[in-house]
Structure 1
Amino acid sequence: MDKEHLIEKWLKDELNDSEKELFSSLDDAELNENIIDNAKHFKASHFYKLEDFNTFKAQYQSLKTPVKKLNWMNPLLKIASVILIGLGVYFAFFSNPLTHIETLVGEKSTIVLPDHSKVELNALSSIEYNTKNWDDKRYLELQGEAFFVVSKGKTFDVKTESGTVTVVGTQFNVKQRFNYFEVKCFEGIVKVTSGTITRKLLAGDTYQILNGKFTQGKIAASAPKWIDNWSEFEAMPIKEVFSELERQYNVQVTFRNIDTNRLFTGGFVHNNLENALIAITQPMNITYELSSSNLVIIHGKKI
């Protein structure tokens, strides 16, 4: 009996005793039995044709071919992996040229830039700049308020959400808060652009946009007062004044029976909350109430 006919009868379970002995003597008898045992785990018909079995057998043998595993214990591979990990850490943490600096409530900070320009950062403010190409492009982004003393050199740009200030070497203050953008020039010349409004400011000039309205003014001071822990305002809505109080003292201010658009001219200190509240409320003929360590209630009428 030929081999293929013998396998066909074995698949159909039609072998007699002598044929079973002949089948067991085949070189691949054990392989054939393993194939059928593994095939029982598949959800398929248990009926096999001879040509299907031969195809399945060839596929089975190809799947049994061992896969060569990568030996990570190889010293060269270990060295390469260490180098790759090291490069990843370097580029992730040390090659980032952006520097981000921010202040907390009631905090001020002095930053010296790569060209020795100086930035005084007011409370709840931040700057971000690129150290890699600073000599070629003196540019930073500001959120909040800062006073700049710029060393002479190439153009120096300060970008805010409300506008851009461009100088060469000068001293100026930029304040960008919600619906409020202000630039004060203390020395040199400052170019300010916000939307379609562009102006060149000389020492003593101010540029202000409040709730979309542009105004210019004059100042006599040589530096902003907040550097010396004093906030000052001229014809500013009282809600903006109390917003600054919140930034300097980490308090929450609420209003009762008061027009928050009333204009305030004056200032307050940064080192004594009660003195600051008195300095704001007395000139406006309003009162305050400290209901807890961080809540201030402003009343429109005396209580």
Structure 2
Amino acid sequence: MEDKNVLYHFLRDDCSEEERNQLHTWLANDLDENDANELLLSIWNKTANKAKSSIDKERILEGVKAAVKAQTTESNYEYSEIALAAPKQNKFTSLLAVMSILIIVLAGGYFLTDRNSVNVDQLHVARQIEKTTSKGQRSSILLRDGSKVTLNSETTIIYDDNFGLDNRRIQLNGEAFFEVTKNKNLPFTVTSAHLVTRALGTSFNVRDYVDEEDASIALATGEVKVNRTDVSLKEVKVILTPNEQITVDKTSKEWSKTVFNPDYVLSWKENNLYFNNMHLADIIKTLERWYNVNISVVGEGIEKLKYEGTGKFERQSLENILGSLGYTMGFESSVNEKQIIIHLTN
């Protein structure tokens, strides 16, 4: 994860002022208890065993407790020495870990490590891995942890080369179906522009295209926790059970939970298309992405045309789909290789 890499540079004392500000913002706004546990565990796993054995955990814990207590009465702090201890499993110690990071960084002091305890040079800055599909393309990826990701057209996922070892974080732009293997120690997290999904072992669909009005998460099996990417809305969480879907209106920022039909919402994985009460403009975007074509509209009134009801098109050609839609919605179309023209007749 990029923020984690910035932290590693911060520990080395070689990050820029911009990176330092980025880290401050992340710790202040986005870091929660699970993130802190994962972050500290990541650093702990990259620390040499010899270094771990020399850490005085009790001294460190008492120092953190004192720092948390002092936070209630003081606004500025200076610390000369602190080391990273192995993350504890109870909630109280996890909270102390989060607060200690916040106190040290936000107070403007230095995050220093005991040189006899943690060899910072051994920390590995993760390399980012990016997988992308273009228009008209769909693909499947088997991840290191055994999880499978199916990418729809024009979709990008980004994860680091430590995925499956000390984290299972993925950034998404587009649409993908995730089949997640169980690992209670490493939650599987998918972050898109508007939604964050956390799961241990389940399968779900995330759709968040930059050019669409809505973003959604549909759960096929298991259970997931969903919250917003937007920091100001992040505290609101929703738990989904199978066949439930959360949809966010990107303009109003309102979200709603509904029951969905898997045969329709997940039909794209079988190379099938379905449209449910969609405006023609949105259907055109889907067809362009799906068939890797450009569609032009001649005439006025496109904003009034809406496909009422639900239609599923199983592995049909673009010509057949346009013919069916045109008959229902009242338009004609002509196809010339990859250039398609829709003539509005109403």
TM above 0.5, yes or no, is yes
**Paired amino acid for 2:329:** M
**Paired amino acid for 2:282:** E
1:168 aligns to what?
A: 200
Distance 2:324 2:248 in 1: 25
Q: Tell me whether 1:202 sits opposite 2:234 in the alignment.
A: no
Distance 1:224 1:96 in 2: 33
Report if aligned partners of 1:148, 1:172 keep a CA contact under 8 Å in 2.
yes
Residues 173-252 of structure 1: pairs in structure 2 closer than 5 A: 173-177=205-209, 178=211, 179-194=213-228, 195=230, 196=233, 198-212=237-251, 213-221=254-262, 224-252=266-294
Distance 1:232 1:210 in 2: 20
Name which of structure 1's ranges 225-234 and 205-214 shifts more when overlaid on structure 2: 205-214
2:9 aligns to what?
A: none
Distance 1:96 1:193 in 2: 26
2:131 aligns to what?
A: 101
1:259 aligns to what?
A: 302
2:153 aligns to what?
A: 123
Report if aligned partners of 2:151, 2:175 keep a CA contact under 8 Å in 1.
yes
Residues 1-303 of structure 1: pairs in structure 2 closer than 5 A: 97-153=127-183, 154-177=186-209, 178=211, 179-194=213-228, 195=230, 196=233, 198-212=237-251, 213-221=254-262, 224-255=266-297, 256-260=299-303, 262-264=305-307, 265-269=310-314, 272-290=317-335, 292-301=336-345
Name which of structure 1's ranges 217-226 and 154-163 shifts more when overlaid on structure 2: 217-226
Residues 283 and 198 of structure 1, relative CA distance in 2, 3 Å threshold: farther
Report if aligned partners of 1:270, 1:276 keep a CA contact under 8 Å in 2.
no
Question: 1 or 2 for the larger relative contact order (CA 8 Å, sep ≥6)?
Answer: 2
Report if aligned partners of 1:103, 1:109 keep a CA contact under 8 Å in 2.
yes
Number of residue equivalences: 207
Give the CA deviation at 1:297: 2.0
Name which of structure 1's ranges 197-206 and 274-283 shifts more when overlaid on structure 2: 274-283
Give the CA deviation at 1:150: 0.4
Which structure has more strand as a fraction of its residues? Answer: 1
Distance 1:216 1:245 in 2: 27
**Paired amino acid for 1:189:** E
Report if aligned partners of 2:170, 2:190 keep a CA contact under 8 Å in 1.
yes
Report if aligned partners of 2:199, 2:223 keep a CA contact under 8 Å in 1.
yes
What are the superposed Cα offsets for residues 161-197 of structure 1, whole Å, 9 maximum, x if unpaired? 1221111111111111123211111111122222425
Distance 2:202 2:304 in 1: 34
Distance 1:250 1:299 in 2: 20
Distance 2:341 2:159 in 1: 39
Structure 2, unaligned runs of 5 or more: 1-124
Residues 192 and 109 of structure 1, relative CA distance in 2, 3 Å threshold: same
Report if aligned partners of 2:243, 2:259 keep a CA contact under 8 Å in 1.
yes
Which structure has the larger Rg over C-alpha atoms?
A: 1
Distance 1:271 1:110 in 2: 22
Report if aligned partners of 1:246, 1:252 keep a CA contact under 8 Å in 2.
yes
Distance 2:249 2:273 in 1: 17
What are the superposed Cα offsets for residues 257-293 of structure 1, whole Å, 9 maximum, x if unpaired? 2333644332435551111212332222322222x32
TM-score, structure 1 normalization: 0.62
Distance 2:291 2:311 in 1: 18
Question: Per the alignment, in what secondary structure is the counterpart of residue 260 of structure 1?
Answer: helix
Give the CA deviation at 1:300: 2.7
Report if aligned partners of 2:144, 2:163 keep a CA contact under 8 Å in 1.
no
**Paired amino acid for 2:216:** E
Structure 1, unaligned runs of 5 or more: 1-94
Name which of structure 1's ranges 148-157 and 255-264 shifts more when overlaid on structure 2: 255-264
What are the superposed Cα offsets for residues 68-93 of structure 1, whole Å, 9 maximum, x if unpaired? xxxxxxxxxxxxxxxxxxxxxxxxxx
Distance 2:242 2:141 in 1: 23
Give the CA deviation at 1:96: 6.0
**Paired amino acid for 2:303:** T
Question: Per the alignment, in what secondary structure is the counterpart of residue 132 of structure 1?
Answer: coil
**Paired amino acid for 1:278:** G
**Paired amino acid for 2:240:** L
Give the CA deviation at 1:211: 4.4
TM-score, structure 2 normalization: 0.55
Report if aligned partners of 1:266, 1:280 keep a CA contact under 8 Å in 2.
no
